[in-house]
Amino acid sequence: MAIDNFIPAVWSARLLANLHKALVYGQAGVINRDYEGDIQQLGDSVKINSIGAVTVADYTKNTNMSAAETLTDAQAILQINKAKYFNFQVDDVDKAQQNPKVMDGAMSEAAYALANQMDQDVAALYADASSTNAIGTTASPKTDAATAGQPYVYLTQLRQKLDEANVPDDGRRFVVLPPWYETYLLQDSKFVANAAAVPGDNTIKNGQIRTVLGMNVLKSNNVPYAAGPIKYRIVAGHPMAWTLAVQLNKVTAYEQELRFNTAMKGLVLYGCKVVRASALAVLTINPT
Task: Respond yes or no on whether the N-terminal peptide bond of residue 229 is cis (omega within 30° of 0).
Answer: yes
197 plus 143 within the same structural domain? yes
More confident residue, 16 or 229: 229
pLDDT of residue 18: 72
CA angle 29, 34, 40 (to 5 degrees): 125
Element spanning 271, H or E: strand 261-274
At residue 205, the pLDDT reads 65
Reply yes or no on whether the pLDDT at 57 is more than 90.
no
First to last CA, the chain: 39
Structural domain for 260, as ranges: 20-54+68-124+244-274
For residues 153 and 221, state if they share a domain: yes
Residues 171, 176, 182, 184, Cα dihedral to 10°: -100
Mean pLDDT of 84-113: 77
How many Å apart are CA 269 and CA 211, to the nearest integer? 33
Same domain, 115 and 252: yes
Average pLDDT over residues 261-269: 86
What pLDDT was estimated at residue 202?
A: 53
Question: Residues near 263 by Cβ (< 8 Å), separated by ≥ 6?
Answer: 87, 88, 89, 90, 253, 254, 255, 256
Q: Coil, helix or strand for 46?
A: strand
Asked if residues 259 and 278 have their Cβ atoms less than 8 Å apart, the reply is no
My answer on whether 139 and 231 are in the same domain is yes
Three-state secondary-structure class, residue 283? strand
Q: Which residues are within 8 A (CB) of 44 and not within 5 positions of it... i.e. 6 or more apart? A: 80, 269
CATH number at 145 reads 3.30.1930.10
Instruction: Flag whether 7 is in a domain.
Output: no
Q: Are residues 212 and 248 in the same domain?
A: no
| Model confidence band, residue 206 (pLDDT cutoffs 50, 70, 90) | confident
CATH number of the domain where residue 116 is located: 3.30.2400
Q: Coil, strand, or helix at residue 113?
A: helix
How far is residue 3 from each of residues 60, 90, 225, 252, 255, measured CA to CA in Å? 82, 7, 35, 20, 16
> Tell me, what's the pLDDT at 54?
83
Q: Find the mean pLDDT for residues 96-108.
A: 71
Residue 274 has pLDDT above 60, yes or no: yes
3-state helix, strand, coil in the chain (%, to 5): 25, 30, 45
Averaged pLDDT for residues 126-130: 97
The angle formed by the CA atoms of residues 40, 43 and 49, to the nearest 5 degrees, is 90
Which DSSP helix (H) or strand (E) runs through 114?
helix 101-123
What's the pLDDT tens digit per position in 65-88?
999 888 777 788 899 999 999 998
Residue type, 245: A
How far apart CA 57 and CA 67 sit, in angstroms, is 12
| pLDDT tens-digit series, residues 148-202 | 999 999 999 999 999 999 999 999 999 999 999 999 999 999 999 988 876 655 5
3-state secondary structure (DSSP) of residue 44: coil
Look at the chain and report how many structural domains it folds into: 2
- Give the pLDDT of residue 3: 56
Do the domain assignments include residue 61?
no
pLDDT for position 17: 66
Span of 45-49, 110-114, 146-150, 178-182 with lowest mean pLDDT: 45-49
User: Across the chain, what does the average pLDDT equal?
Assistant: 87
Report residue 222's pLDDT band, with 50, 70 and 90 as the boundaries.
very high
